[in-house]
Structure 1
Amino acid sequence: MTASVPPPSRRALFLDRDGTLIIDKVYLADPAGVELIAGTADALRRARELGYLLFLFTNQSGIGRGLHTLEHTLRVNARLEELLGLPPPLFTDICIAPEAPGQPVVYRKPSPRFILESLAKHALDPQQCWMIGDSAADLGAGLAAGINVAAVQTGKVDPRTLPLVAERALPVFPTFAHFAATLR
């Protein structure tokens, strides 16, 4: 008798970092400054248990502005994963978009490039994927990629976010943990 191998997951969550998973601190470069938003670890655990692949998608314009380096951002991400305390690898892939506003855009949200590349690379079903974030750029990336989008209210107030949420009738959750509680 041959054991069957479960099919790879075709669903995923694309997650903004600052203001979605951790408290947003402008140009965070010091790992000691990482603070999880309440419920984040349990929410990520739940999503993984339900078979969602997790992708971290973060704009880090502080790199492009010369305020900190990619190495600083990698250390902040490592601290995030350490605080979460979940078995590695937590994220299937991580996109750090270093461009500052005004620089040529490759991955900076609202560019959907990282999401589109991930959909193809991992044979994901766009109808079973979500972009979760607190800003208009986060939501715009998901919309441009043709995946589901949800906003969280734990980040900085971006005046462009509320009109986009209202115009598109996007779901809004107090935290990522509240969103994750709705996953099936």
Structure 2
Amino acid sequence: MRLNDNNTFIGINPPYQLLVIHSSKLIYPREIYQRGVERKRVELIARDFNEYIVNEPKVSFRNGRYYVMDGQHTIEGCILLNGGEDRPILCKVYTGLTMEQEALLFAEQNGHAAPLSAGIKLRAKVVGGDAPSKAFVAATNRVGPSLNYDSMQLSDYRISCVGTALKLYDQLGEEI
């Protein structure tokens, strides 16, 4: 696969277009097939918002209107960060879908994504330079055992319950 002069992949035609749509034009079909907006989730998204990892909301353009299939909490988080005012949102816009197809895509929106294990997440944070994660690993190494980041092999005398060990470290402190 290679890039052309416009930095786009040759031979790749995604089923959507990236478009900026004003949030006031986005419709959440809650009464038809979606869940309601959970305020705590919106506040969490706004608190931890990171433009580099946020997923663009998935929107269906049908009958001249924009229906959100996935990402209503992200949109609401962006609005919250904008002082509660509507704002432009970068969206993946699909065309040619029926309401039934939108509902099925909504139902399958998480696909087969696997959550990160505590060990893999810790390893990534250490590589990324996260100071608390590096301090935990250093403290663990000072007392002898090493961490089993991937939890694949349990008989090699490494700490496999990384999430539990990290939780105890945070609760009890480095000395304990």
Q: TM-score when scaled to structure 1?
A: 0.27
- The TM-score with structure 2 as length reference comes to 0.28
Specify the structure having the higher radius of gyration (Cα): 2
Greater relative contact order (Cα < 8 A, sep 6+): 1
